[in-house]
């Protein structure tokens, strides 16, 4: 078994220390900005939509029951 390098160990430690940092989720309903949440779990709790569904719709850039989820504030052209 190979021993991890010091860089690898430092990276893992840094990731564990920053696990509290969340990625904001912007929610739009029927094309209108609805709300910004601190993370997917906050959006899940407020909207009562499974976090897996929210994540899948962010990744696929799809709409779920009129909701569009994004990690970025979307602007119409």
**Number of domains observed in the structure of the chain:** 1
Q: Could you tell me if residue 1 is inside a domain?
A: no
Q: Could you tell me if residue 64 is inside a domain?
A: yes
Q: Could you tell me if residue 77 is inside a domain?
A: yes
SS3 per residue for the chain: CCCCCHHHHHHHHHHHHCCCCCCCEEEEECCEEEEEECCHHHHHHHHCCCHHHHHHHHHHCCEECCEEEECCCCCCC
| Whether residue 75 has pLDDT greater than 60 | no
Residue 35: give the domain boundaries.
22-77
Candidate from 41-45, 50-54, 55-59, 69-73 with smallest mean pLDDT: 69-73
Q: How many CB atoms lie within 10 A of CB 66?
A: 11
CATH number, domain of 76, equals: 1.10.10
Mean confidence (pLDDT) of the chain:
87
> For the segment 2-26, what is each residue's pLDDT rounded down to a tens digit?
777 888 888 888 877 776 667 899 9
């Amino acid at each position: 078994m190979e021993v991890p390098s010091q860089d690898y160990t430092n990276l893992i430690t840094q990731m564990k220390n920053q696990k509290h940092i969340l990625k904001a989720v912007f929610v739009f309903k029927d094309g209108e900005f609805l709300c910004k949440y601190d993370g997917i779990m906050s959006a899940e709790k407020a909207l009562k939509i499974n976090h897996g569904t929210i994540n899948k719709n962010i990744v696929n850039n799809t709409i779920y029951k009129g909701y569009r989820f994004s990690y970025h504030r979307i602007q119409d052209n």
